Amino acid sequence: MMTKRKLKLPFMLKVMRFNIHLLTLISPPLAARVVNHLWFKTCRVAEPRREQNHLETAEWKTINVEQNKIQLYIWGQHNEPTILLVHGWNGRAAQLGLFAQDLVEQGYRVISFDAPGHGRTSANSTNLPEISRVIQKLSHEYGPFKAGISHSFGGLCLLHAVREGIEMHKIICIASASNAERLVEVFAAILQIQPRIIDLHKKLLEQQFGEEMWKRFSMPEMVKEITIPGLIIHDEDDMDVPMKSSKLIAQEWPNSELVITAGLGHRRILRDKTVIRRVTSFIGDKE
């Protein structure tokens, strides 16, 4: 097991915590509106050189989806079976580059994209339905997809798009967060937001997406309606998304297999050769 170590908090995180705490004392409704605004904000992280190398082998295109110009990356030949890669929150397409490399060698075309507010795509905020609509547009333009590979928050977005009707033969979910309510809990813990402010924030979310959003944005609920074969992979040492999240998903997904790894955490799992081989093998297996 990985040992937990005390991390030094980024300065901006300390500032946000202080400001939210101050606003909570002055005006709880205002604090809730600020929290709601921050909920949708994204943060771009610089790509390491190894990820840039993956993008250099791809064809770059853009596609307009609503008000956003979405950056696409395409590997392989257009007449090959197509695989879609979906990154997570504050992630980027390049993080799944090793999957693209291996899949192209196996004879597939691979398409990935930077979600709104991520990587080279426009905007600085987004939400689950918006990313789902990007996936739906890509399915219309480049589908049907033989399989979709998702990481973290990307799993919620991919499953939402499948539930909305896109055609896909297999789904792979790596380190997936189980539902939006759990994400709110994590968000509250990171920013040390008081429960009464979180309750107000949740009410604002319900005004934006409907009171039934907690069920609609829940992977254990989504997979109940899905007959597509699924492969769920999660590392027991994931410090970002607990392994129990994937266990909850697997319990409700009859046609799925759960694979547990160790020592890879939340992101290094995307670079593990054994994981990549397991995914490509699952895609290649006869249904």
Domains of the chain (ranges; CATH) run 27-33+50-284 (3.40.50.1820)
Question: Is the pLDDT reported for residue 2 higher than 50?
Answer: no
- pLDDT, tens only, 116-139: 999 999 999 999 999 999 999 999
| pLDDT attached to residue 4 | 46
Q: What does DSSP say about strands 59-65 and 145-151: parallel, antiparallel, or unpaired?
A: unpaired
Question: Is the pLDDT reported for residue 69 higher than 50?
Answer: yes
Instruction: At 245, give phi and psi (nearest 5°).
Output: -60, -50
Of 204, 195, 93, 212, nearest to 150 by C-alpha is: 93
Of 54, 12, 28, nearest to 195 by C-alpha is: 28
Report the percent of the chain where pLDDT is more than 70.
Answer: 96
Question: Is the pLDDT reported for residue 287 higher than 60?
Answer: no
Contact at 8 Å (CB) between 158 and 145?
Answer: no
- pLDDT, tens only, 11-32: 888 899 999 999 999 999 999 9
| pLDDT attached to residue 286 | 62
Question: Is the pLDDT reported for residue 9 higher than 80?
Answer: no
| pLDDT attached to residue 1 | 37
Q: Mapping DSSP to helix (H, G, I), strand (E, B) and coil, where does residue 260 land?
A: strand
Contact at 8 Å (CB) between 73 and 59?
Answer: yes
> What pTM does this model have?
0.93
Q: What does DSSP say about strands 109-114 and 68-75: parallel, antiparallel, or unpaired?
A: antiparallel
30's CB contacts (< 8 A; 6+ apart) are 23
CA 215, 233, 55, 137 dihedral sign is: negative
